[in-house]
Structure 1
């Protein structure tokens, strides 16, 4: 756990377990034979499209796909996986080496200078914890880049603090602290998406702090030291049946981008809004069936689809509190069974709801929450000040 790593003086990394399935040629990707090009898989990518964009010819792309398919299902290619390759110095359309690094650290390696056969090696991946504290004297994107923090955190913070802070209207004097973890290879290549563990924004007289957690409890939000919101699933007790990302559509049978997550539950199970907001749309959308869109401000929107019915009074313009019932689980639209399709869109772009859902129900903090909050404050050089928030 990230906060356990912070307790160890000077700890900056935790190493995942490492083993080697085929120890032959351990220097395949490290020897100085040719520079390695890199591409981190994003939604919609295929092996063929990545290599085609790199200028690799069709025959070699086909060979590579067939060789990798012997040990890995290419339909499981997913965001966060890393493709690396080198080409001939005489002909840049000719591959010399190719590596597909999966999320669990398995490196699938092809050497085109020899009879082609995929070899599997477990690559050492370090889990590194990083911290940054800075005054926002520029745009948030630029400030993050200046401090070597992921620029994507600007979007994450806007989603986590939706309804509390509009990051499009910052004054430029706010103080921000971040703790996050990232996976790195021995050559310092970052693999996958960095994960925020703690964020603090000091704006005017208010201090906002966010702790992230598990899938069941993605994050909790404090304002001036008091817990004010906690994320929750839109369907209590439901089974997460499909995650965000590319998948084989259960009805159409083709590979398509899944722009949200699905929660399987019986028809009629209550569906609750995951954050305070205003109903933007309540109607039927092709493929989605009965759908409700809720605007949470700061460019954050949530979508609840395949509903069997809308809750009485749900209509555009209606304001909702976090946790308010908006309808019931159903099977309307293009689905194979009753479930809720839940999306989070930021400035119109679908993002992973498991990580970036708006805040929801108010609960009491646990002792573990207080411990983690204290550790985060200590490691970012901060001690909670007396409550100086403005009285309403």
Structure 2
């Protein structure tokens, strides 16, 4: 847990360690080989489609797939896995090396300069704790990117701050603090999904803070030191794969409006309601597939689409608390691969979740939440001040 890591003097922890060769050693070839290319798998990707887009010839793509299939089921290729390859400088259609890094740290390596056989290498993965504190001087997306922080946190914060802040009203003077953990390779490559543990937004005279004890638990939101509500991500640990706005549709190929955000995850990954509310629809909807709509009051409705199944007991009229499981990620409806389509509607109109979110009900903070809040404040150099300006 993040809390335990923070309380333990803090250094980097090794989670997997049976390392034979470093990625640099594996990719070091002769000068006739071009630099290594890298692609993070997204929904709808196949090994063949990735290599085809890279210009690799069909016979070699087939040969690579057969070799990898001896040790890995390519039908389980999933978002977050990383494909790396190098080609010969004089013939970029010919592979020299190919590596598929799975999320458990196993590197499946093919060396095309030798008789082809897949090698399995257990790569060392480090757990790194990170923290950033900064004055917002651009959009939140741009500020995160400039600090090499996960841009998906911009969407997470909007969903988790749940009606307390309208992100359209950010003035560019707000102070932001974040704490999270991420898995990295020895060369610094981030693998898997980062886990946000604490966030703080100082806006005007208000201080908003989010804390969580673990990825499975909803966040508790504090305003000026007092708990106000409980919020949850729709899919814990998922990667943001598509944002609100105009885009090229992955199935139809035409440019059209995308009315929500998509979270890439395996079929069967649990989906949670982001805020307390009442189920008003649970069924199949054209284009959306299996869909659940939850009414949060005040004209705010959230939609969860492309589900593979509904959780037991989900039906119109059922009341839910923030973080309640409502179904599983799937690929139903008009979609190229498994993901959750998460949508926020205000008075019936789709709205960017980054700009408007539902307001869940008040929750009770546990002692561990209070401890986490104190540790996070100490770690990010912040102490709550009372009306007299005294630190507390």
Q: What SS is found at the alignment partner of 1:130? A: strand
Structure 2 Cα separation of the partners of residues 290 and 4 of structure 1: 38
The Cα shift of 1:301 comes to 3.0
Q: CA RMSD in A?
A: 4.2
Written as runs of structure 1 = structure 2, the 5 A alignment for 1:303-314 is: 303=304, 309-311=315-317
Q: 1:301 to 1:387 in 2, by over 3 A?
A: farther
Does structure 2 retain, via aligned residues, the 8 Å contact 1:12–1:130? Answer: no
Q: Normalized against structure 2, the TM-score is what?
A: 0.72
The aligned residue for residue 64 of structure 1 is: 64
Could you tell me which runs of 5 or more consecutive residues in structure 2 were left unpaired when the two chains were aligned.
Answer: 242-263, 334-338
Distance in 1 (CA, whole Å) between partners of 2:381 and 2:267 is 37
Query: 1-side partners of 2:38 and 2:301: how far apart?
Result: 32
Partner SS, residue 94 of structure 1: strand
Q: Deviations over 1:323-357 (max 9, x none)?
A: 39x9x99xxxx89xxxxx98633797999xxxxx9
Deviations 1:169-195 (A, max 9, x none): 211111100111122111111222322
Shift of 1:37: 0.8
Paired residues of 1:232 and 1:360 also in contact (CA < 8 A): no
User: Secondary structure at the residue paired with 2:16?
Assistant: coil
Aligned to 1:151: 151
* C-alpha separation in 1, matches of 2:173 and 2:315: 46
2:65 aligned with 1:46: no
Shift of 1:123: 0.4
Residues 224-275 of structure 1: CA deviation (Å, up to 9, x unaligned): 11222224699xxxxx9xx9999xxxxxxxxxx87986769xxxxxxx9642
Shift of 1:141: 1.6
Q: In the TM superposition, what is the alpha-carbon distance from 1:50 to its structure 2 partner?
A: 1.0
Q: How does 1:193-204 map to 2 (within 5 A)?
A: 193-204=193-204
Instruction: State how many pairs are aligned.
Output: 337
- Matched-pair contact (CA < 8 Å) for 1:262–1:342: no
After superposition, where does 1:1-392 map in structure 2 within 5 Å? 1-9=1-9, 11-20=10-19, 23=20, 28-33=25-30, 34=33, 35-231=35-231, 274-275=274-275, 285-286=285-286, 288=289, 291-294=292-295, 301-303=302-304, 309-311=315-317, 323=321, 344-345=342-343, 360-386=360-386
Mark the CA change 1:75 to 1:201 in structure 2 (over 3 Å): closer, same or farther. Answer: same
1:5 CA drift (Å): 3.0
Contact 1:301 1:345 in 2 (8 A): yes
Q: In structure 2, what is the Cα distance between the partners aligned to 1:122 and 1:163?
A: 44
- Counterparts of 2:224 and 2:240 in 1: how far apart (Å)? 36
Is the CA contact 1:281–1:291 (under 8 Å) kept in the aligned structure 2?
Answer: yes
Q: Report the 3-state secondary structure (helix = DSSP H, G, I; strand = E; otherwise coil) of the residue aligned with 1:145.
A: helix
CA distance in 1, matches of 2:273, 2:193: 27
Q: Is the 8 A contact 2:22 2:123 kept in 1?
A: no
